[in-house]
Amino acid sequence: MPIAAAQGPGIEVTGSRHVVAWLAAAKASLVVSTYHANRVFLVGLKAPDRLSIFQRVFERAMGIAARSDRILLSTRFQLWQLDNVLRPGETEGVHDRLYRPHRSWTTGDIDIHDIAFDAAGQPVFVTALFCCLATVDDRHSFRPIWRPPFVSKLAPEDRCHLNGLAMADGQPRFVTAVAASDAAAGWRGQRGSGGVLVDVESGEIVARGLSMPHSPRLHDGKVWLLQSGTGELGTLDPASGRFEPVCFIPGYLRGLAFHGRFALVGMSRCREERTFSGLDLDRRLAEKGTEARCGVAVVDLRTGSLAHWLELAGGVRELYDVQVLPDVRCPKAIGLKSREIWGVVSYEDDGRVVRHTAMPDDRNA
C-alpha cells in the first residue's frame, strides 16, 4: 500500500514493511534524481514513523554529489550547487535542511553523468558527450582533465558512453564506459558485453566484458559497480578483472551509494526502445517471473539480500542517481519555478549567520 505521496502531483511511493524504520535507524536521508520526469526527490522522515518525500523540478536531473550541507546536481545545460541555509539546530517547519540553489555553471548540453567532490571540494564530473572527465571553468563550458587513452580526441560524439566515476582520497580513480569505442556512438553496438572499467591513474582497462556498467564506487576497500545490462550489484577485482555478483535487483540499475553495511541502488523500468532492450536483464526478469521496478533498493551487504525498498509510481519510470545525506532527518529544497526563491536571503553579520524569509510582492524599484 502507499506509504507517501510526493509533494506535488502525480507521484505515489510504496515501500517495504520496515523501510521507514530503517531510515530512522540510519539517521540519514536520500536524494534521488530522475531525468525522465525532470525531478529531484529528497527522502526523509517527518516523524519517526512517517516518510517525507519532497520534490523539485530540475530539467533533466542527472548526476548527484551530496554532503550534509551541500548538493551538486547536473541538469540539461547547467551544473547546480545547492547549499543548506539553516543554522545548526534550526528547522523550517519539520525540515532540518533547506537547500537553496546558490550558484550554477552553464555548461551547455554536454550530457553530464556522475559527479563528485574533489579533494578541494570542487566539482569533477563525467561528460558522456565528450567522453572525458572535467571540472568547471571560469570562462568556458568545462575544463577537460582526463580522457581514456582509447579515445583519440575530444569531440561531441559520445563515442564510448563514459558514465561512471569512482573517487579515492578526493581524486578520480576508476571510470566505467559501455564500450572501448573511438567512433561516434560506437558503444551502441556493444551494449551487451562491451563494457569496461578503466584505471584513471594508469589509463589501463582493468576489466572487460561488462554489460552496461554504471556507478563505480570504492567502499570498504573494494571496487563496487552496477552491471545494468544484467541487473547485478557486485564487486570487481582490478587485478584479475573479474566481476563478482553480490545480488540481482529487479531493474535497470544506475545510482549507487553506501551507508554503513547497506548499499542503496537506483532501479529503473526498462524502456521499449533499443538502448535498454535486448539485454540479459530481460531474460533474468522473465526467469524470476517479475518486472523491472523504479525506485531505490536497500541491499544488506552482509547477506546480499534486498533488505528494504522504495518504489515510485505515477509519472516516474527511470532514475539516474541516488546519494545519501548523512545526519539529515527531513530535507527540503527551494526550486526555480516558484517565487519562494526570491525571498530566502541569508548573510553574515558580525560573524553571525542571519536568515530572512519573506515572500516579495511584485513592486518595481
Which pLDDT score, from 0 to 100, does residue 7 have?
A: 59
Residue 106 pLDDT more than 90? yes
On whether the CB atoms of residues 249 and 299 are closer than 8 A, the answer is yes
pTM of the full structure:
0.93
Question: Is the Cα torsion angle 52, 58, 59, 64 positive or negative in sign?
Answer: negative
On whether the CB atoms of residues 111 and 158 are closer than 8 A, the answer is yes
Tens digits of per-residue pLDDT, 204-241? 999 999 999 999 999 999 999 999 999 999 999 999 99
DSSP reduced 3-state for 228? coil
Which has the higher per-residue pLDDT, 207 or 4? Answer: 207
Domain coordinates of the chain in residue numbers?
2-334
Which pLDDT score, from 0 to 100, does residue 357 have?
A: 74
Confidence of residue 355 (pLDDT cuts 50, 70, 90): confident
Strands of the 205-210 sheet, one edge to the other: 162-168, 171-177, 195-199, 205-210
Residue 353 pLDDT more than 80? no
Closest CA to 253 of 287, 284, 219: 284
Residue 66 CA to residue 81 CA, distance in Å, equals 10
Residue 5 pLDDT more than 70? no
On whether the CB atoms of residues 307 and 8 are closer than 8 A, the answer is no
Residue 316 pLDDT more than 80? yes
Assigned C-alpha cell, 262: 547497506
Closest CA to 100 of 89, 92, 110: 92
**Distance, C-alpha 133 to centroid of its chain:** 16
Residue 246 CA to residue 304 CA, distance in Å, equals 6
DSSP label at residue 154: -
On whether the CB atoms of residues 19 and 1 are closer than 8 A, the answer is no
How many CB atoms sit inside 10 A of residue 46's CB? 16
Confidence of residue 103 (pLDDT cuts 50, 70, 90): very high
Tens digits of per-residue pLDDT, 120-160? 999 999 999 999 999 999 999 999 999 999 999 999 999 99
DSSP for 250-296 reads SSEEEEEEEETTEEEEEEEPPPSSTTTSSSHHHHHHHHTT-----EE
Chain position carrying cell 507521484? 11
Which has the higher per-residue pLDDT, 73 or 10? Answer: 73
What is the percent of the chain where pLDDT is above 90?
Answer: 84
Confidence of residue 72 (pLDDT cuts 50, 70, 90): very high
Residue 354 pLDDT more than 90? no
Confidence of residue 11 (pLDDT cuts 50, 70, 90): confident
**CATH 2.120.10.30 holds for 2-334:** yes
Average pLDDT, the chain: 93
Residue type, 193: S
Question: Is the Cα torsion angle 142, 147, 153, 158 positive or negative in sign?
Answer: negative
